[in-house]
Amino acid sequence: MTSIVQQVALFQQGASIEEHTRAVLAETREINEHYHYFTALCEKEALARAQFLERLSAKEKASLSLLGVPLTVKDALCVKGIESTAGSRILKGYRPPFNATAVQKCIDAGAVVIGKTSQDEFGFGGFSVNVGLGYQVPKNPFDPDVSTGGSSGGCAGFTQKTTFPHLSLAESTGGSIVEPASFCGVAGLCPTYGRVSRYGLIDYANTLDKIGPMAKTIDEAALLMDVIAGPDEKDGTTLREPCTVQNAAGKGVKGLRIGVVKEAFGEATDSVVAETVWRSIHVLEAAGARYEECSLPLTGAYGVPTYYILATCEASTNLAKLCGLRYGMQEELSGTFNDYFTAVRSNNFGAEAKRRIMLGTFARMVGFRDAFYIKALKARQLITNEYLSLFKKYDVLITPTAPVLPPSFAHLKKLTPLQHYMLDILTVGPNLAGLPHLNVPVGMHNGLPVGALLMGTHCAESTLVQAGACLEKNSKNEKK
């Protein structure tokens, strides 16, 4: 398959962007009919954009690193004039008058937005089965009876399924980039908190939300990372440190210090997953890295409860504004304010959204705040300290991305909400600590992909790309 860089070069040499975009949209319609990866397609806008790019001068085209590249965007990010709902019926019909900063940066680099991808409602899930009322569940590209992972399931599934060069903007709160990337066998890079502006992102939990790239390869994910990273005056949490990660892909791993988190390979992890990831560790060792086992006991014991208290507290606050008055779906005015407010939210939020709003509201109530919310904040700091202590000794930590192979929809229906939450156990830790992490596809079992999770200290995305690219290159034979 042609790479992104090769495709851009073809456009810069005069290949037709409009013709390519028409072929891309035809394939996208066909894929979406069977796999449900989109909440909105924007064919008319994509063709108009392709025609605009076609008319640029050769000099102007030469300056665009994503010239004519099809881009899909998770529904939680605002795209000007395109319905953006974060997968929820309560925002049905909302067409933002502006682009999210990350989207605008891609457009400025020459990308063509072709649609908004499906997700768990507001990001509330790890399997893309908690889609909003009226939306369809995306299907895994390797087996339509299996989950894509979530919440960025549409991004991951479509990235794997396309035959054309393509990039996707995803978003993570507790693992929503790397986990679906693992279940669909693609590269997913969740950056350091603050690397990418959150302006134009429909909030789940402000202190945890991050926007990052998905792509078929580590190198292409790094290319998109370099485009979207950087300070933004519209988001005061963005970092000023420069971010150039693409050139790290060819550096190799000689001398790199790898910490293998032993808790992640215990009884709760599927033996096939553990064995596959261990083989990838030996691949890194053969390429010149050194590894030893290490431990994250606090993160293993308290990561999931800490994450779900903090994330639901922030979500319940953020979603309070969606009551049908200034924001959100409106119903016929009747009864008291409470009657109206209750009707709007009861009729338009899905079951998991209601559950998380109630959990977060409870944890912030007078009398419970100190026992739950404040205690969770303290635990988060201890977890962050635990990670930073290990990064004094190691350059990269490694675990499986998910403890299990991609589960079937039938199996997921049998699990309780708590069992669903516990499957996030390997991804909530780096998200609580704001650390960058990367999914690398490292093998297949029974036709389903296995991913390894690489984690680095703050702003160490280039180290992750360095190790990930080496692993990707040397795992190719196994993936076949």
Tokens of 88: 């929820």
State whether residue 471 is helix, strand or coil. helix
β-strand pairing of 437-445 with 210-215: unpaired
Identify whether 389 is a catalytic site residue: no
Q: How many other C-beta atoms can be found within 10 angstroms of the C-beta atom of residue 244?
A: 12
Contact, 442 vs 478, CB < 8 A? yes
Query: Of residues 84, 151, 316, 462, which has the active-site annotation?
Result: 151
Q: Residue holding tokens 């054309």?
A: 164
> DSSP assignment, residue 408?
B
Please list the helix, strand and coil fractions of the chain in percent, rounded to the nearest 5, in that order. 45, 15, 40
> Of 106, 116, 112, whose CA–CA distance to 228 is shortest?
106
Q: What is the crossing angle of helices 17-35 and 43-54, to 10°?
A: 160
Query: Of residues 147, 168, 176, 475, which has the active-site annotation?
Result: 176
Category of 50 on φ-ψ map: left (φ > 0), alpha (ψ -120 to 50) or beta: alpha
Length of the chain, in residues: 480
Identify whether 168 is a catalytic site residue: no
346 preceded by cis ω (within 30°)? Answer: no
Q: How many other C-beta atoms can be found within 10 angstroms of the C-beta atom of residue 229?
A: 27
Identify whether 139 is a catalytic site residue: no
Residue 247 — φ and ψ, nearest 5°? -70, -10
Query: Of residues 74, 116, 139, 161, which has the active-site annotation?
Result: 74
Contact, 310 vs 380, CB < 8 A? yes
Q: Residue holding tokens 């040499």?
A: 13
Q: How far apart are CA 251 and CA 221, in angstroms?
A: 16
Q: How far apart are CA 173 and CA 109, in angstroms?
A: 26
Tokens of 194: 């603050």
Q: How many CA atoms lie within 13 A of 365 on its CB side?
A: 9
> DSSP assignment, residue 150?
S
Tokens of 415: 């699990």
For 452, the enclosing helix (H) or strand (E) is strand 448-455
Catalytic residues: 74, 151, 176
